Amino acid sequence: MPRFEIDLNPLEHITVDAIGQPGNRVFYIQGWRETDPQAVTIIIEKVQLQSLSLGAEQILAELIKQKPDLTLPLVEVDPEKMRISPPVDPLFRAGEIGLGYDADRDLVVIMAREVVLDGGDPEEAAEVRFWCTRLQIQRLSEWSKDVINRGRPLCPQCGQPMEPEGHFCPKKNGHKH
């Protein structure tokens, strides 16, 4: 039995982001349901994010091939809305990320399974499933590319971008760090 499983369905919002210095960034996937008091956040590897973004594009491309009447709107990605929301309090580090499409519900599911450490029982690995609409997955895929390519790190305290010369953190009463 997994130590816990969470299905975010319906999903109010989903995003990915990176925190830390360039070259040493930690990547996160974060989503929440309308009723959730706090977002569900999971640590992922950059390479997992890259394959997630690519996989989402492939699923959408495949859908258009299968349903020629289906059109994908041009999505506007608002960085303000896509930035990770503090507190960044990850439930686990993902060992596996999977993608699937549920034709009945017309939802793309992102499955994140907890990494199994040496001596750990794979059966107990926690699992979180983010059930995304086509629009959500389209936006996520676009935004993922920005995050992967972005050099400017985010402050782990307040989630705002940090300038190379330093950052006046509102969470630290404006002290530079």
Q: How far is the CB of 168 from Zn ion (least distance, A)?
A: 8
Write out the E strands in the chain: 5-8, 13-19, 26-32, 40-44, 92-102, 107-114, 127-132, 168-169, 175-176
Between 122 and 161, CB nearer to Zn ion:
161
Site string for Zn ion, 117-156 (x = CB under 5 A): --------------------------------------x-
Nearer to Zn ion, 116 or 169 (CB): 169
* Sign of CA pseudo-dihedral 54, 118, 28, 15: positive
Report the residue count for the chain: 177
> Taking CB under 5 A as the rule, does residue 169 contact Zn ion?
yes
Rounded to whole angstroms, the Cα distance separating 66 from 98 reads 21
Window of 13-21, 59-67, 83-91, 164-172 that interacts with Zn ion by CB under 5 A: 164-172
Contact between 132 and 119 under an 8 Å Cβ cutoff? The reply is no
* Min separation Cβ 16 and Zn ion, Å: 20
Per CB under 5 A, 158 contacts Zn ion: yes
Report the alpha-carbon distance of residue 150 to residue 25 in Å, rounded: 10
| Closest approach of Zn ion to the CB of residue 159, in Å | 7
- To Zn ion, the closest distance from the beta carbon of 163 in angstroms equals 11
Closest by Cα among 110, 126, 147 to 31: 110
Helix (H) or strand (E) holding 92: strand 92-102
* Residue nearer to Zn ion on the CB measure, 29 or 155: 155
C-beta closer to Zn ion: residue 17 or 114: 17
Number of residues that bind Zn ion (CB under 5 A): 4
Q: CB within 8 A of 58, min separation 6: which ones? A: none
Q: Which residues bind Zn ion (CB under 5 A)?
A: 155, 157-158, 169
